[in-house]
A and B are shown apart, each in its own frame.
Chain A
């Protein structure tokens, strides 16, 4: 029988906490920028201009048809080149920046679809009402449509954030030390990979299970 040895976990907790901070950092930044960029993409997609809606549609389709692993590798390749052109900061960790950019750009395509559906769920009469009150298209969107749409979308946005939180573990492919990366390294160092992987799985499960139940609860409250 396999003998479990959990002894290396207590000593590694500070490192694991640091890793978790990095994980949450990537998650929050990608959620914020993803929603901002996603809103822009969604409104472009719904705009009357064929060109703009085509550009937004192409963005969404491209990002949704490429594996996240490839997106991360792409940005890990591209970001250093862009950075060296824009400003010169050698002490900047390229991997962190690449992961911020990659996750934000990738999540924007998923948020764009959620937000588009949210905007489309608002009755058309509200656009007309906004116009009738003398608001511009932009004002109607910002003051009438989006506030209502976002309220309806909160559970879905949260669910997507949970998926993103899980997906951040993939920064492993560019060698960044997030929560999972730290757990893996500690396990490798102490020869307790089995225990550390199970521990990491349990932590992710607890966090995600709680957050998805919160999303479900919000959904029910909004529906009633």
Chain B
């Protein structure tokens, strides 16, 4: 059914938008997938760290606010969140929303909405990981830091976080893989990332199998690259006395 009809030369034909051939067409999608994943992950890392940290502070208001943040982003489907960022916020935010709709280039509009959506969605997950990383550090270390006269900020900065972040490196990298996979949802608002390009390629050439196989392999390649890089990162950052570290 399959092997007979595949025609890989399709990737050398000029693409319908005249931007190059279908190979460069897919690589444009790959480029946007990577841009989107990296920027979203940076947002997620910054906000997730902040919220995760709040959840471990000795202040019940901070803990409750951080918990509400996590629940909000975790209990609404990513697709609904994306549509809210893209269709709802520009309508209901006065001035800035109007400017966004009228003056920002459409591709950039899609990119910004998708980045913020993915970033905040993922930040709630990273917050939980940061929290569990911090909670994995024995309480005595926090007390020891405070007893040595460090402020709470110094204790976090110099004692807890350096180890907590090392503990969660594996989950942070697998979260990056999740961001890459979730970025495919941005195709629904028309962002020309990898899965959107594969759909367009299929529609214009009817070579669906070639298109889907190529894109699936590209996602696999991203996965593999990130996994290899994360192994290096883990090896590079390990501490003696901890799991996987030198003794």
Across-interface contacts of A169 in B (CB, < 8 A): 77, 79-80
19 additional A-B pairs beyond A65-B220, A66-B216, A197-B83, beta carbons within 8 Å, are: A2-B92, A65-B223, A66-B219, A66-B220, A67-B219, A70-B216, A73-B195, A73-B198, A77-B209, A166-B76, A166-B78, A170-B77, A172-B188, A193-B87, A194-B87, A194-B91, A197-B84, A205-B72, A209-B75
- Interface residues on chain A, size class: 20 to 34
A66 vs B221: C-alpha distance when bound (angstroms):
10
B50: interface (CB < 8 Å): no
In angstroms, Cα B188 to Cα A73, docked, is: 12
Binary contact readout B46-66 vs A (1 if CB under 8 angstroms, 0 otherwise) = 000000000000000000000
With beta carbons under 8 angstroms apart, the residue of B79, B91, B208 that contacts A2 is B91
Q: Are B199 and A73 neighbours in the complex by a CB distance under 8 Å? A: yes
A35 to chain B, nearest CB (A): 21
Which residue of B has the minimal Cβ distance to A209?
Answer: B75
Main secondary structure of the interface of A (DSSP, over half): helix
Rounded to whole Å, the gap between the CB of B185 and the closest CB of chain A is: 6
Interface residues of A in 16-72 (CB under 8 A from B): 62, 65-70
B88 touches A208 (CB 8 A): no
8 closest pairs, A vs B, by CB? A67-B184, A208-B75, A166-B77, A69-B184, A67-B181, A2-B92, A65-B223, A169-B77
A141 CB to nearest chain B CB (Å): 29
Closest CB in chain A relative to B87 CB, distance in Å? 6
User: Is A127 an interface residue, CB under 8 A from the partner?
Assistant: no
Report B215-232 CB contacts with A as 1/0, cut-off 8 Å. Answer: 110011001000000000
Interface residue ranges, B against A (CB under 8 Å): 1, 71-72, 74-81, 83-84, 87-88, 91-92, 94, 177, 180-185, 187-188, 195, 198-199, 208-209, 212, 215-216, 219-220, 223
Main secondary structure, interface of B, reads helix
* CB <8 Å contact, B195 and A70: yes
In the complex, whether A167 has a CB less than 8 A from a CB of chain B is yes
Q: Cβ of A166: which chain B residues have Cβ within 8 Å of it?
A: 75-78
Given contacts A2-B92, A2-B94, A201-B84, contact A180 B220 (CB under 8 A): no
Chain A interface residues (CB < 8 Å from chain B)? 1-2, 62, 65-70, 73-74, 77, 81, 162, 166-167, 169-170, 172-173, 180, 184, 193-194, 197-198, 200-201, 204-205, 208-209, 212
In the complex, what's the smallest C-beta–C-beta distance from B22 to chain A, in angstroms? 17
**A166 to B212, alpha carbons, bound, how many Å?**
24
